[in-house]
């Protein structure tokens, strides 16, 4: 009985002190926007595709949060984040738009951010997705489908 109590006591002491446990494993850094933007220029195709898809997911979720109640702090924060994405992410997407591996997610990103400066690059892209992005942005070259 004493050994069981001693094991329990040691376990509680380790848990309280932040000692080794499955819950207190090594901390991994959360990838940031800059990390994924850098991933667009990776020589590895899978990393470029992952970065582009993850950035498209972040833009989609941020856009959804920005469409909330106007008085909410989360809405204001999401709008600020969208503005930062337009400044930092849109130029990177326009730069890699010619890469077939990331053209679809980057086209979606540019359309969702409504980046007007992307109209010339989007006009060169074939397909319905680019035309839809151009209509969303309001490009003069969008034309009819």
pTM to 2 decimals? 0.74
Q: What 3-state class would DSSP assign to 1? A: coil
Residue 68 is predicted with a pLDDT of: 80
DSSP assigned state of 46: H
What is the average per-residue pLDDT within 103-130? Answer: 93
Domain range list for the chain: 31-140
pLDDT digits (tens, 9 = 90+) for 39-84: 999 999 999 999 999 999 999 999 998 888 877 778 888 889 999 9
The larger pLDDT score, comparing residue 94 to residue 23, is at 94
Report the C-alpha gap between 45 and 28 in whole angstroms: 23
Token digits of residue 49: 């595709």
What is the average per-residue pLDDT within 118-135? Answer: 92
Report the C-alpha gap between 109 and 64 in whole angstroms: 13
């Amino acid at each position: 009985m004493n050994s069981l109590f001693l094991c329990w006591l040691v376990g509680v002491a380790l848990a309280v002190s932040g000692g080794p446990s499955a819950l207190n494993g090594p901390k991994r850094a959360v990838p940031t926007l800059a990390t994924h933007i850098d991933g667009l220029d990776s020589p590895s195709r899978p990393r470029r595709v992952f970065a582009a898809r993850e950035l498209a997911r972040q833009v989609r979720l941020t856009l959804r949060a920005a469409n909330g109640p106007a008085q909410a702090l989360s809405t204001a924060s999401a709008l600020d984040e969208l503005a930062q994405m337009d400044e930092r992410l849109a130029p990177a997407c326009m730069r890699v738009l010619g890469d077939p591996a990331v053209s679809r997610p980057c086209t979606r990103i540019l359309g969702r951010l409504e980046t007007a400066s992307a109209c010339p690059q989007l006009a060169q892209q074939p397909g319905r997705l680019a035309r839809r992005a151009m209509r969303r942005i309001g490009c003069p070259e969008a034309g009819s489908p």
